Amino acid sequence: MRILKLTEETKKNLLESLLKRSPNSYKQYEDSVNAIVEEVKKNGDSAVFAYTKQFDGAEITKENIRVTKEEMEEAYGLVDDKLIDVMKKSLQNIRAYHEKQKQYSWFDSRPDGVLLGQKVTPLSCVGVYVPGGKAAYPSSVLMNILPAKVAGVEKIVMTTPCDREGKVNPATLVAADLAGADEIYKAGGAQAVAALAFGTESIPKVDKIVGPGNIYVALAKKAVFGHVSIDSIAGPSEILVLADESANPRYAAADLLSQAEHDELASAILITTSETFATQVSEEVDKFTATLSRKDIIEKSLENYGYILVAQDMDEAIEAANEIASEHLEILTANPFDTMTKIKNAGAIFLGEYASEPLGDYFAGPNHVLPTNGTAKFFSPLGVDSFVKKSSIISYTKEALWPVYEDIIQFAESERLTAHANSIKVRFEDNNR
């Protein structure tokens, strides 16, 4: 990996390089994605079937688009029982973590007749997009569905691509069943996102769409935002390891590669205060890469977006980490909990040498659907809050309104909104309390 001294210039160049990975930088695909979205909006099922044939080579019809009970039973028979047991353990951890995120309606009444509050209501119907293609990610199925279930969403609709024979990855199906998906449809790409956003004869319209996907899926979610809610427009995966000389270079190298193997656009960055440690990690990266199955992808990822930055001290390193605002941040310092208190921007923070990033991906419980491309400065991980909406509650008696009604009238008239003012005035036309 390239080793650079951390300066304002290298930091600026790094941030500019990382931003090029954002879906917002791929405007050349927007016209084709928008055309697919409009076609599905206009023609429903027939457009979904045609695009599925064109892109996935599968003959999908109204009769076979929905995954059946028999197909689900077949999937269970094809997945290793040990993997199913692991999924169940992971599911329990994810559910337990998200149960602690639940919020409840509240009401605050005062003796003067004022009642204020907040009503928390789960979304009625949510769409979960699950990628197919080169790899299947049942862990993402659990992470997207379980917080919706904990939130109390009434109906969870999942879409995922099928192969040429109309089959869906069995591990994906098992994970969806374990997590509690209500309906599963064989549709992928921008056409599936459009189907969830607008509804077709077969696929119901949802209120929100969540789940990862390729650039076409990301841009389709961007295109339908406003017609429905979305979780985010996710970019490629990324990891930042923050380390001092006390860290284990083999651990740091292995963790960097755990993200670099995702795809050629994945980012893996180490910021350290030790030049010796930087060199050791680079050497370990080379050793590991030579033996890993996704060597070609890793090498391309590191060539494009792999960096080791040497900071003059930990304060400088932390400042850079906050500016990068990485999706995953590992802290491998002598006192990781103290370092963590100075971190403002990160999707998920992993503390200590035994909390490696894959622990969060698969098992610990916190959600692995995280903000990318610096959006951790203002976005949060997917969670229960992502699947509820909140309504304000206001109730005043006449006695409570009396002392303040003239203030409200004055405020409204200052904005020249006389109908607003009149709405208050009419309640006191008799000038009695």
From the list 412, 415, 432, 433, the residue with the least C-alpha distance to 423 is 412
> Token digits for 368?
């692995």
Maximum CA extent, the chain: 87
Distance CA 282, CA 269 (A): 11
Q: Which helix (H) or strand (E) holds 122?
A: strand 114-122
List, by residue number, the catalytic residues.
Answer: 327-328
Tokens representing residue 411 in the block: 């405020």
Conformation bin of residue 133: beta by default, left when phi > 0, alpha when psi is -120 to 50: left
- pLDDT attached to residue 162: 94
- The confidence score (pLDDT) of residue 135 equals 66
Digit-coded pLDDT (tens) for 4-54: 999 999 888 888 888 777 776 677 888 999 999 999 999 999 999 999 999
CB-CB contact of 370 with 361 (8 Å):
no
The H or E element spanning position 40 is helix 30-43
- Would the CA dihedral through 310, 374, 135, 367 be positive or negative? positive
Q: Reading across the β-sheet that carries 348-351, which strands appear in turn?
A: 3-5, 306-310, 267-272, 238-243, 328-332, 348-351
Residue ranges of the chain whose pLDDT lies below 70: 24-25, 133-135, 432-433
Q: Give per-residue burial for 121-134: e unless 16+ CB within 10 Å, then b.
A: ebbebbbbbbbbee
- Residue 114 confidence (pLDDT): 97
Q: Crossing angle for the helix pair 30-43 and 215-224, nearest 10 degrees?
A: 60
Taking the C-alpha atoms of residue 358 and residue 361, their distance in angstroms, rounded to an integer, is 5
Which of 24-32's residues contact partners 24+ apart within 8 Å by CB, and which partners? 24/233, 26/215, 26/219, 29/215, 29/216, 29/219, 30/219, 30/223, 32/216
Least Cα distance to 145 among 133, 132, 159, 134 occurs for 159
Under 8 Å between Cβ of 193 and 111: no
Q: What is the pTM of this model?
A: 0.92
Token pair belonging to 406: 């003239």
Buried b (16+ CB within 10 A) or exposed e, 213-233: bbbbbbbbbbbbeeebbbbbb
pLDDT digits (tens, 9 = 90+) for 79-118: 999 999 999 999 999 999 999 999 999 999 999 999 999 9
Residue 23 has φ and ψ, to the nearest 5°, of -55, -25
